[in-house]
């Protein structure tokens, strides 16, 4: 479809007006613009979030609020979000991270969307605006079923993980700038050597980021030993629905899932 207009509204309210009329929301353009250039634009009107005042990042009192239009590079560079830096640096290249946005990462197809995997593990909440006003929804719900017509994510809010509870690992074909084969993100607490609570999110192994609930169940009350972690990783296969793509086969993704789940914790 030919593009009839690119709106660059200067407030969330103005975004909502265009969005209610059916415009396509665009963050950094890293997904939308190749479609536009290729003549396959997802609609006649694009709404850029670049100037809508949704790029701020606030970190205080153990909580982070990240504007949906914040580029990935600003998350990577934020002194209060150091725990996310390895994850951000595993996504695409610095050049792309200067454009691609936090909100956009929630809507990209797997095997992209490693930040979304992190936000799922963190139990983050999306702030959403739309014709019906504002609402909040867990990232898990937005990943599972998107947002309603005319709605758009304005920010994600997450508690910062306590020191020593954050785990992230991404298996790629290359060390830099490659999509996920398996991504593992987790907030896991241990006490006296055993797991007291755990949330594990997986990327690269299903059509969207998923919780490894079978692995979580197996880890509770047990130590993070290589044997237990491998067992949990094998259990996680039942939470995954891997796919073939140019990076890896579904068979390979399922085969190496336990290895990478273990490595997320043991390094």
Partner 1 sequence: MSSQIVSLVVNGEPREFIAKPGTTLLAVLRDSLGLTAAKRGCAQGSCGTCTVLVDDRPVTACLIAVETVSGASVRTLEGVAAGGDLDEVQSAFVDNFATQCGFCTAGMIMVAEALLDRDPDPSQEDVAEAISGNVCRCTGYQPIMIAILDAARRRRGESPKPVPASEETVSREEKVSR
Subset of 81-140 contacting partner 1 (CB under 8 A): 89, 92-96, 98-99
From residue 41 to residue 80, the character string flagging contacts with partner 1 as x (rule: CB under 8 A) and all else as - is x----x-x-xx---------------------x-------
> Between 5 and 144, whose beta carbon lies closer to partner 1?
5
Contact in structure between 123 and 80 (CB atoms under 8 Å)? no
Distance CA 259, CA 243 (A): 18
Which residue among 33, 59, 228, 250 contacts partner 1 (CB under 8 A)?
33
- Give least dist CB 23 to partner 1, A: 11
Which residue among 15, 26, 70, 102 contacts partner 1 (CB under 8 A)?
26
Subset of 160-189 contacting partner 1 (CB under 8 A): 176-177
The neighbouring-strand residues paired with 169 are 184
35, containing H or E segment: helix 32-37
The reply to whether 19 sits near partner 1 by the rule CB under 8 A is no
Distance CA 225, CA 71 (A): 37
Distance CA 88, CA 57 (A): 15
Q: Give the interface size with partner 1 as a residue count (CB under 8 A).
A: 30
> Between 73 and 188, whose beta carbon lies closer to partner 1?
73
* Listed residue (9, 262, 7) closest to 154, CA to CA: 9
Question: Quick one: which segment of 31-39, 110-118, 128-136, 211-219 binds partner 1 (CB under 8 A)?
Answer: 31-39
* Listed residue (88, 48, 47, 50) closest to 67, CA to CA: 50
């Amino acid at each position: 479809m030919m593009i009839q207009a690119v709106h660059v509204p200067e407030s969330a309210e103005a975004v909502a007006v265009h969005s209610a009329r059916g415009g396509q929301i665009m963050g950094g353009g890293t997904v939308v613009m190749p479609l536009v250039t290729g003549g396959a634009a997802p609609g006649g009107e694009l709404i850029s979030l670049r100037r809508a005042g949704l790029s701020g990042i606030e970190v205080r009192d153990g909580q982070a609020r990240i504007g949906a239009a914040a580029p990935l590079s600003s998350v990577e560079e934020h002194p209060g979000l150091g725990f996310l830096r390895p994850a951000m640096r595993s996504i695409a290249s610095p050049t792309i991270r200067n454009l691609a946005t936090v909100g956009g990462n929630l809507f990209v197809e797997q095997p992209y969307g490693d930040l979304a995997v992190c936000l799922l593990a963190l139990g983050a909440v999306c702030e959403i605006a739309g014709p019906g006003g504002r609402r909040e929804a867990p990232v898990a719900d937005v990943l599972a079923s998107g947002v309603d017509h005319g709605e758009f994510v304005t920010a994600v809010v997450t508690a910062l993980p306590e020191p020593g509870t954050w785990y992230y690992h991404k298996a790629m074909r290359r060390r830099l700038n490659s999509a996920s084969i398996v991504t593992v993100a987790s907030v896991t607490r241990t006490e006296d050597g055993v797991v007291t609570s755990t949330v594990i999110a997986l990327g690269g192994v299903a059509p969207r980021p998923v919780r490894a609930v079978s692995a979580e169940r197996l880890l509770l009350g047990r130590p993070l030993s290589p044997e237990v972690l491998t067992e949990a990783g094998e259990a996680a296969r039942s939470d995954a629905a891997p796919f073939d793509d140019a990076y890896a086969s579904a068979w390979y993704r399922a085969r190496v899932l336990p290895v990478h789940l273990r490595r997320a914790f043991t390094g």
